[in-house]
A and B are shown apart, each in its own frame.
Chain A
Amino acid sequence: MRPFTYERAVDAAGAVKAAVETPNAKFLGGGTNLLDLMKLEIETPTHLIDVGRLPMAGIEETAEGGLRIGAMATNSHVAADAKVRSRYPVLTQAIVSGGSGQLRNKATTAGNLLQRTRCAYFYDTSKPCNKRAPGSGCGALEGLNRNSAIFGASHACIATHPSDMAVALVALDASVEVLSPSGAARSFPLMELHRLPAETPDKDTHLIPGELITAVVLPPPPDGGQLYRKVRDRASYAAGLASVAVAGGRIALGAVAHKPWRAADAEAALASGASPAEAIAAELEGASANGRNGFKINLISRLVPAAIEEARGQGRGA
């Protein structure tokens, strides 16, 4: 790691102020992704602002009948929370399908959202990667890109977002609360947090510099069943080849795009009476195979209808 200075933030406002005032600073939550990348010199901050102990780890009811999950709540705590488990089971299922017990005990809600891609070409600093080194090219585009994006990729980047939790949150129509350098708090749909790569894949999100995620807010749970299904090469502790979150009529897909992918076309088709298979076929009209990842189209076309049917069964049973 490059040398860096470290401070432990005492409150959110101070953390944001420090982030704006200190050059090349980064927030440090659980550290499970940032330290991984710093060791490889993929991330090279010279100042870390540890926000891990800020009092933002609670999970509370909102006046609207939803939940407000503090940004520093660990993945394990969110998954184990009784309110989450009973009302948002898809979120618990998604979280516990990611990483390992140890990682989930350390990783935070905000950190999970802001984790970077697991693309092998991003991780290997001897390879070109526009996300890691803008302008260097994309090693994955013509490479061994089995686990790359089938939706929304660009010629500059076909990386996927690795979060499971975020896929469930998108299906649950969650929003994000952030504290801006101006001191103002703002809130926007989680769906709008992550970007597509376009020409600037080095930017993962629409956050402005210094902005700190303070919470994720869930609206009341949707009617109907909820389910998360993740497909991967081994039974546990591995990145997904594809995943799907179903929450009532809403569907989100994981490991298929630079962001958690809300399957809006499929939802619309379902809403107008299409079968699950027809609905996902509508969504997949926008998909494109890049080299070796074409199997994901087939996989999604099989996985999603099965998941929808299973969630409907649960919804009826509930």
Chain B
Amino acid sequence: MTSVLDWEATPNPVKENRAGNIGKAVDRYEGPLKVTGTAPYAYEVEPPSPPSYGVMLSAPIAKGRITTIDTKAAEASPGVQLVWTYKNKPAQGPRPERYDFFTPSPRPALESEQVYYFGQQVAIVVADTLENAQAGAALVALTFEDDAKSVILQDHYDEAVQPPGESDTEIGDFQAAFDAAPVTVDDVWKTPLQNHCQMEPCATTAWWDGDQLTVHTSVQMVRFAQNSLAETLMIPAKSVRLLTRYVGGGFGGKGSFYEDLVLASLAARELKRPVKIAFSRQQMMHGTVHRPATEIHVRLGANPDGRLTAMSLMTVTHCDRRGNFTEHASNFARSLYAAPNRLTGHRLVRLDLPVASAMRAPGEASGTLSLEVAMDELAEKLGMDPMELRIINEPEMDPETGKPFSIRQLVRCMREGAQTFGWDNRNPVPSAVRDGRWNIGLGMAAAIRGNFLLPAKASFTVDADGVITVKQGMTDIGTGTYTVLAQIAAETLGVPLGDVRVEIGDSELPPAPGSGGQFGAATAGSAALDAGMNLRKAIAEIAVNDPASPLYGGPSEDITFQDGVIAISNRSERLSELIRRNRPEGLTADGEVRPAADASKWSSHTYGAHFVEVAVDTVTGEVRTRRMLGVFAAGRILNWKTARSQLTGGMIWGVGSALTEGNSVDARYGSLINQDLAGYLVPVQADIGELDAIMLDEVDDKANPMGIKGVGELGISGAGAAVANAIYNACGVRVRDYPITPDKILAALAAEGR
């Protein structure tokens, strides 16, 4: 088994970075396709023959069953080729009672007459054109028995259970320490149900060639979707080729897959022609997964010098009736601040709502909206600067496990951010700074997000032109995977970036877990590095054994790879020449990465600090984000440009979660009321002022062979809390029920007679 210590001790081309490809602000590999509109997303792939179009019909009730079905009008509608409901759908593998992200399992569509959540897909109409399919779908007549439903978290606390297989973690005696603490904060924060709102709705294009299925779909995890689809269709996995080359946003929501994939595959088989199905924007809100709401009870106890003596986060959250997902909003607190007495845990309520699952930084995104505001409140009670309060409580080792940190530069993030942002200019007295009709406030918060490494494989091929092709069943959901794989390949094999090709998003390629949990770059990249190292060895072996090569005789361990040339001191030749002579068909090497056996001996996270300036109109309650800076420490950065974009994107998600985002549940219908992009408000361009992210120099050699970590989720962690804290500094109002909309600010101002 690999050890973290081996990673740390062993040099490799990425660490050495001789050609400087690592860290460089390289343009996106697939960027030219994206800016010209020529990157085909799943619905846009051209099938071998003209496709039919599927349109799904969604349940208008939250719980109950389908009582009557009349599809005659739909079937008679022009161009309609197929109408399926649960009554006549094809046989599919049975759904397991409970399922999770990482274990493939059947996901039958149009399963039964039962409706488990509003928006569940209950029928499909396929027609020769999209217009005919849409018109046909409107003619499917279904009636339902609408049962009593439980959809409001607060109404069902009595049903809250400990999530399966989990327990609360208590260190010391939290209650006693909290009761004895001279300064305390004790409040509840609420975060709403949120939706991913990827710009590309879920979509699939499917066709069959005999028993062989080809599906282009929009998912984050290739193998998981391929295997689950095969089990659903009850065919061998090798009969399914699943491709997902361009994904129009994922954010966790495409970690799963949906009925478009299953029904397009089934309908294409039935009709013997390609079928395309896309979710409508409205169907995305209910019919895919969401981030569940949380209620987080935060209790902090501190001495007058600011040292925390007691800290507790207890989260109540929800998942769907048949699910198991828990929004672990308390977990991050286990590693963030020192406090001798600690209590954290979660309670889960199962509701008749759509399926809850992961959304960008599950846990941290919600959890930091509570604790990182509570720390601001505590700082005010103590009369301390909120950044200094955090620094005083900086732990020397993981405060819960006692493990050493692999590396932790949170304090440096805060200090450098404070200086660059001008934190010194903050007036700690709320409502003290005005600019025209706006009250101005500054706020800050810390960021933390776990670091993960999963098993993955990759292959590298060098051809007779000296071009390196990276192959991996990985995805790029906007994260920059194509680009960083190309950089790793260029650096490892010493070829120009332009001589690297990257093929990903295909189940026929060596498997990688996909994009999620900000583990993508570390996981996929480490496997790629290994493949590159193995290819170097294979090339070296050939060179030293080829009498025609100037490198003949070796020593092979002295071979350098640079600018497409392999050399031993002054003996050299072009890599392409060697390959042309010896392996004109190309030379391939495989690689893989597995988590180190001793990885769990360290507490490994990414860190950051956010600084925000907001303006609050105290007449109307409107908030504007004027200026925002994040400083982050996340290991070695593979690509300064794409990493920064991931971080700034996350920060803007934080602004959205603080100010505008959230689905409202109507208890009577069990449905979300804002179910389109006019109702669910994600930030727009005008919401975001000046905003930047800075990445500290850092190497975390205990994280993986490259010493890198993820950045895709770190940016959102704490960002919304910094906005909330800035709002308080601007106008003296704390709103603990997100999002902080004008009506809530006005209510608080009015309550104080302001």
Chain A interface (Cβ < 8 Å from any Cβ of B): 1-3, 39-41, 118, 120-121, 123-127, 139, 142-144, 146, 229, 231-239, 241, 295, 298-299, 302-303, 306
Contacts and interface: CB of A to CB of B under 8 A. Distances in A.
B469 to A, nearest CB: 41
Interface string B578-621: 00000000000000000000000000000000000000000111
B60 interface: yes
A239 B685 CA distance: 16
Contacts of B674: 120
A236 B664 contact: no
Contact of A231 (B620, B676, B686): B620
B60 A120 contact: no
Nearest to A237: B684
A126 B671 contact: yes
B675 A3 contact: no
Contacts of B78: 3
B660 interface: yes
Contacts of A40: 282
Contacts of A298: 746-747, 750
Given A120-B673, A143-B666, A241 B684 contact: no
Contacts of B675: 120, 124
Main secondary structure of the interface of B (DSSP, over half): loop
Main secondary structure of the interface of A (DSSP, over half): loop
Given A236-B687, A241-B742, A2 B135 contact: yes
Contacts of A237: 684, 686
B624 interface: yes
A142 B669 CA distance: 12
A232 B742 CA distance: 8
A265 B730 CA distance: 35
Contacts of B741: 233
Nearest to A142: B668
A123 B673 CA distance: 10
A238 B681 CA distance: 8
B679 A1 contact: no
Contact of B619 (A41, A236, A306): A306
A144 B60 CA distance: 17
Most chain A CB neighbours (cut-off 10 Å) among B624, B668, B675, B743: B743
B671 A303 contact: no
Given A40-B282, A236-B687, 6 more contacts: A1-B134, A2-B135, A233-B659, A234-B686, A241-B742, A298-B750
A256 to B, nearest CB: 14
Contacts of A295: 742-743, 746-747
Nearest to A2: B135
Contacts of B282: 40
A299 to B, nearest CB: 6
Contacts of A303: 619-620
B176 interface: no
A126 B742 CA distance: 29
A118 B678 CA distance: 9
B134 A146 contact: no
Q: What 10 pairs across the A-B complex have the smallest Cβ distances?
A: A126-B60, A295-B743, A236-B686, A235-B686, A231-B620, A144-B673, A144-B664, A120-B673, A235-B687, A302-B619
Given A241-B742, A306-B619, A143 B685 contact: no
B180 interface: no
Given A124-B671, A126-B671, A234 B687 contact: yes
Contacts of B619: 302-303, 306
B51 interface: no
B138 interface: yes
Contacts of A3: 78, 135
B671 A231 contact: no
A125 B60 CA distance: 9
A36 to B, nearest CB: 9
24 contacts: A2-B138, A3-B78, A120-B673, A120-B674, A121-B673, A124-B675, A126-B118, A126-B669, A139-B666, A143-B673, A231-B620, A233-B659, A233-B741, A234-B687, A235-B686, A235-B687, A237-B686, A238-B681, A239-B678, A295-B742, A299-B743, A302-B620, A302-B746, A306-B437
B660 A233 contact: yes
Nearest to A303: B620
B698 interface: no
B573 interface: no
B656 to A, nearest CB: 9
Contacts of B683: 234
Contacts of B557: none
B622 A1 contact: no
